[in-house]
Amino acid sequence: MKPAIWVVLRIVNHEYRRNRTPQSYPPARRNSRLIIRAYSQTPEPVSSKSLVDSFVLHVSSATIRNEMMVLEELGFIAAPHTSAGRVPTESGYRYFVQNLLNSSDLSSDDVSRINQRLQNAPIATEAWMNAVATALSRATQTAALVTPPAAETSRFKHLELISIQGRLVLMVLVLNQGAVVQQMLSLAEPVPQQRLSECANSINAICPDATANEVRLRCAQLPLLEREIAELCRDIMSRQASEPARMVYRDGLSDLITSFNHSRGAQQAVRVVEEREFLSGILNEVLFSKNRDVQVVIAGNGRWEELSHLTMILSRYGIPGQTSGAVGVVGPTNLNYDRAISAVNYISGIMSAMLTTAMDVRPSESQPDTPGEPNPSQD
C-alpha cells in the first residue's frame, strides 16, 4: 500500500473511532452493560476473556478487546494499572444508569416480601419506617435510608405564651404535621400573663391552618406585640419547612461496610449513614427537588468529595403538595444498579400509594408520587 493511501486510511479510521458513540456503535452498549454487571458481582478488573467466558459471547476475545478500546476512548472504562483488565468509570456508570438499565430487576417473590413487611406495620409510624428500611436493605444487600413523611408546607395550628420570670417568656408553637417547637423569648420589657394570653388567643383566632407568610399577613393589623410574635412564628415555620429530613431511619450498614475492600470507602459509608447533619443536607435536596424521578448520585457527582467511593439512589414518596419523604440506598459505586433502582422505585411507589389510601385522598385532589425513570443527578 502506498504511504499516502495508508496515512489517509489511518486518519479516516481515527476520525471514525473518535466520533463513535454508544448509540452509533451497538457493541459499546452491550459491552458497557456486561462490564458493569461483571464488576458489580466481583470488584476486580474485567478482561475481554472473562467477558467471553462469563456471558457466553459468540465472538472472540480479540474482538471484545478491540471493542473495549472504544469504550476506553469514550471514557466509560479505564485500566487501573498496566496489563490489567478494565473497570467502569463514573461516566460509564452514569451512561449505564441513564441508557442501559432494565425496567425492573425484582422478582414476584421480592415484591411479595416487600409488601408483607410494609403491610404488617401501621402506616407512617416508627415501626413502618423501620420496616421500609429493613425491606429495602434486604432487597438490595446494602444500607437503606428512609425519612418519615412530613408536610411539604408547615401550617399553623396553635400558639401558647407562658410567662416564666420577668422578661422571659416561653413560646410553644404547634404545627399541623404534629411538630411542637418551644422557644425561650426575652422581651423588651415584662409582660403580664393575661396580656400574653390575649396575644396568643388573637393569633390563634385568625391563623388556623395558615402558612408561614399567611401568619405574618393576617397579623399585620394587630398590635405590636402580636406582630412581633407572628414574625417569630413565621421564622420558625420557615425553618421547619426547610429541614424536613431530621429523622432518618437506617438499616444494613454492616452490609455496606463489608462491601469495601479498602478502609476509605468504609469510612465514607459510616460518615454518610451516621452523621445526621451531612446526610440531611443531601436528603433535603431530594425533598426540595422538582424532579420526582429516582435520582442517582455516583461518586458525589464531583460535588461531594465525601461520596467519592459511594453511590446514593434516592427517591421522594408521598402526596404532592401535601406530604413527602425520602427513601433510598447507599452503596459502593459498583453496586447492582438494576436491582437497587428497581427496589427504590417500587418501594417509593408503594409507600405513596399506602399514604394516599390512609389519608383518603381522592384522585382528583392529588396524585401520589409515582416511580419514574432513573435520573443520574448532575451538578
Do 225 and 123 have their domain in common? no
Q: What is the pLDDT of residue 293?
A: 76
Does 220 share its domain with 87? no
Q: Is the dihedral of CA 47, 53, 55, 60 positive or negative?
A: positive
CATH code for the domain of 37: 1.10.10.10
Note the pLDDT tens digit of each residue in 308-359. Answer: 889 999 998 988 877 788 899 999 988 989 899 999 999 999 999 998 888 7
Query: Does 56 lie in the same domain as 26?
Result: yes
CA 263 to chain CA centroid, Å, is 24
For every residue of 120-170, DSSP letters joined together read TS-TTSHHHHHHHHHHHHHHHTSEEEE---EESS--EEEEEEEEEETTEEE
Kindly indicate the confidence band of residue 205, based on its pLDDT and cuts at 50, 70 and 90.
very high
The parent domain of residue 371 ranges over 108-151+244-376
Provide the CATH number for the domain around residue 342. Answer: 3.30.450.40
Residues 18-76: tens digit of each pLDDT = 555 555 567 777 888 888 888 888 888 888 888 888 887 878 888 888 888 888 888 88
Q: Check: CB of residue 151 under 8 Å from CB of residue 176.
A: yes
**Cell numbers representing residue 58 in the block:** 459468540
Say how many domains are in the chain.
Answer: 3
276 and 136 within one domain: yes
Same domain flag for 222 and 250: no
Kindly state the percentage of the chain with pLDDT values over 90.
34
Q: Are residues 136 and 267 in the same domain?
A: yes
Q: Quick one: 238 and 353 in the same domain?
A: no
Last residue of a domain, one of 242, 273, 288: 242
Note whether 279 and 366 are same-domain residues: yes
Is residue 116 located within the same domain as residue 92? no
Asked if residue 304 and residue 210 are part of one domain, the reply reads no
Among the candidates 175, 209, 242, a domain finishes at 242
Do 288 and 227 fall into the same domain?
A: no
Confidence of residue 177 (pLDDT cuts 50, 70, 90): low
Task: Out of 189, 216, 242, pick the residue that ends a domain.
Answer: 242
- For residue 288, pLDDT over 60 is answered with yes
**Element holding 193 (H helix, E strand):** helix 193-206
| pLDDT recorded at residue 13 | 43
Residues 275 and 371 in one domain: yes
